Amino acid sequence: MNRTQASSTAARITVSSMLLAVMLVLGYIESMLPSPGVPGIKLGLSNSVLIFAVYMLDIPTAFILMSLKVLLSGMMFGGVTTIIYAFSGGLVSLTAMVLLRRIPRLSPVIVSMGGGMFHNIGQVAMAILILHTPSAMLGYLGILMLAGLLSGFLTGLIARQVMKHLRASALHPRAVRRRGTLVTVLAVLVTAGTLLFAWHSMPHLSGNRVTIEVMDTAPLQDASAPPF
Amino acid sequence: MFRRFLSLFACLLLFPMAGMAQDAPATATDLAEEAHIAPAYVLLTLQSGSYWLALPDEGEVDIPIRQTRDDGSEEINTLRLTPKGVYMLSATCENQDCVEQGMVSIENRTDRILGNMILCLPNAVAVELFTPEEIRAMYASREAQP
């Protein structure tokens, strides 16, 4: 495979779709692992693929990969809630990683840890927006950020090892790396489309009226006053 | 001048204390008032607002929370209150996280990862357990509603 072939659009599409497939498989494997029942705490294995994309491919491709992974994975194994939370986390996390990547001589492991932490910050921000419980969620944020650092460390190690071994290989995707306006436009479109889709499917966000009844034996006590 | 202020201050300080001292022998109505305070209260936060639910003194109470959308589809979370604590009995959500989060009781609040919370993200239901002392502190420290 020579350089001209490798830098063609076909090669770019091939590498991106291969990475997307890897992310989806990793997401599927992760969905089979026992969940701790606590939202937000998980391994986030596909983050290692994103790290790889941020380092080896271009930034627009990384955003396309993230959006498509969130969308497809949510449709296949999760639900609407998974999509909106994973997307808010992924967007914040990927932005943080892209920015951290610009700091010279920063290890991919550190970048990944930052990404993991910001993933949970993004999710908690979305949770506050949806649930209206800022005080309680902020207390929970500390634990989530710690969990994000830990899982970011693990996925960062994986990504670093993969990149180390791939550097000498002919499959090194740097050949594919090319700046293109088309990819940037596509990335903006895909990301915005995912955001719109997720926003529209959440009944609590999209403006759909939701009537709520709580059936208590005693009349409900509004929390504007203490209960006793 | 300063001394007058001091005595005024002392009076202000002593008056409520004297009042408390007089009230100290509990009357029948006071005991009844005391009995109304549950061991803990559940703060239920929904899109429509926040509500207090008292834990029952005995037995179990089920609180169904029904959320109906414009198109007629509905989601139901059933909260079970027991004298010890609260848990999500059932939920029509996609991941059942809230059911798996188990019970929040006064004893295990500090040991759980989620602390005093039960969260149902798909149906946007947040449940928190507070003791009466915490609630008093909450309303004393800020006038705004939680």
pLDDT in the model for residue A108:
92
Whether residue A92 is predicted with pLDDT greater than 80 in this model: the reply is yes
- Gap between the Cα atoms of B135 and B146, Å rounded: 10
For A149, the 3-state DSSP assignment is: helix
Are residues B58 and B29 part of one domain? no
Range with the poorest average pLDDT among A89-98, A110-119, A160-169: A160-169
Residue B115 lies in a domain: yes
Q: Do B122 and A81 touch (CB under 8 A)?
A: yes
Are residues B75 and B6 part of one domain? no
Task: For A167-204, write each residue's pLDDT tens digit.
Answer: 666 555 555 555 678 888 888 999 999 888 888 877 66
Are residues B54 and B20 part of one domain? no
Are residues B15 and B61 part of one domain? no
Q: Stretch A86-98: mean pLDDT, rounded?
A: 94
Whether residue B131 is predicted with pLDDT greater than 80 in this model: the reply is yes
pLDDT in the model for residue B5:
52
pLDDT in the model for residue B85:
92
Task: For A39-74, write each residue's pLDDT tens digit.
Answer: 778 888 999 999 989 888 888 889 999 999 999 998
State how far residue A114 is from chain B, nearest Cα, in angstroms: 22
Domain carrying residue B85: 37-141
Plot region of A103 (φ>0 → left; ψ -120 to 50 → alpha; else → beta): beta
Give how many domains chain B has, as a whole number: 2
Q: Do B121 and A85 touch (CB under 8 A)?
A: yes
Are residues B17 and B64 part of one domain? no
Are residues B128 and B95 part of one domain? yes
Task: For B65-86, write each residue's pLDDT tens digit.
Answer: 888 877 777 888 999 999 999 9
Residue B75 lies in a domain: yes
Are residues B129 and B69 part of one domain? yes
Residue B92 lies in a domain: yes
Residue B124 lies in a domain: yes
Are residues B24 and B64 part of one domain? no
Alpha helices in B37-86 (DSSP H): none
State how far residue B18 is from chain A, nearest Cα, in angstroms: 24
Whether residue A6 is predicted with pLDDT greater than 50 in this model: the reply is no
Q: What percent of chain A has pLDDT over 70?
A: 84
Give the pLDDT band of residue A75 (cuts 50, 70, 90).
confident
Q: Stretch A150-179: mean pLDDT, rounded?
A: 76
Place of tokens 């969620």: A137
Smallest Cα–Cα separation from A23: which of A1, A3, A53, A2?
A: A53
Q: Do B94 and A223 touch (CB under 8 A)?
A: no
Whether residue B36 is predicted with pLDDT greater than 50 in this model: the reply is yes
Q: What percent of chain A has pLDDT over 90?
A: 34
Q: Which of A132, A141, A143 is the best residue to mutate to test the B interface, defined by the most B CB atoms within 10 Å of its own CB?
A: A132
Domains and CATH numbers, chain A: 3-201 (1.10.1760.20)
Residue B146 lies in a domain: no
Give me the phi and psi of B50, to 5 degrees please.
Answer: -110, 145
Q: Dihedral (C-alpha) A181, A90, A56, A188: value to the nearest 10 degrees? A: 0
Whether residue B4 is predicted with pLDDT greater than 70 in this model: the reply is no
Q: Do A136 and B126 touch (CB under 8 A)?
A: yes
pLDDT in the model for residue A223:
80
Give the bridge partners for B86, in sequence order: B81, B104
Q: Stretch A88-113: mean pLDDT, rounded?
A: 93
Whether residue A216 is predicted with pLDDT greater than 70 in this model: the reply is no
Give the pLDDT band of residue B21 (cuts 50, 70, 90).
very low
Q: Which residue has the higher pLDDT, A182 or A26?
A: A26
Are residues B130 and B76 part of one domain? yes
Residue B94 lies in a domain: yes
Whether residue A113 is predicted with pLDDT greater than 80 in this model: the reply is yes
Q: Is the CB of A136 inside 8 Å of chain B's CB atoms? A: yes
List the 25-64 stretch of B: residues with Cβ below 8 A of A. Answer: 36-38, 41, 43-54, 61, 63-64
Are residues B72 and B22 part of one domain? no
pLDDT in the model for residue A217:
66
Kindly list the residues from chain A whose CB atom is less than 8 angstroms away from the CB atom of residue B117. Answer: 136, 140
Are residues B50 and B24 part of one domain? no
pLDDT in the model for residue B3:
55
Q: Are B76 and B65 in contact (CB under 8 A)?
A: yes
Whether residue A152 is predicted with pLDDT greater than 70 in this model: the reply is yes
ipTM: 0.70
Residue B117 lies in a domain: yes
pLDDT in the model for residue A211:
75
Are residues B81 and B15 part of one domain? no
pLDDT in the model for residue A37:
64
Whether residue A111 is predicted with pLDDT greater than 90 in this model: the reply is yes
Residue B82 lies in a domain: yes
Q: Which of B53, B67, B124 sits opposite A130 (nearest CB)?
A: B124
Whether residue B95 is predicted with pLDDT greater than 60 in this model: the reply is yes
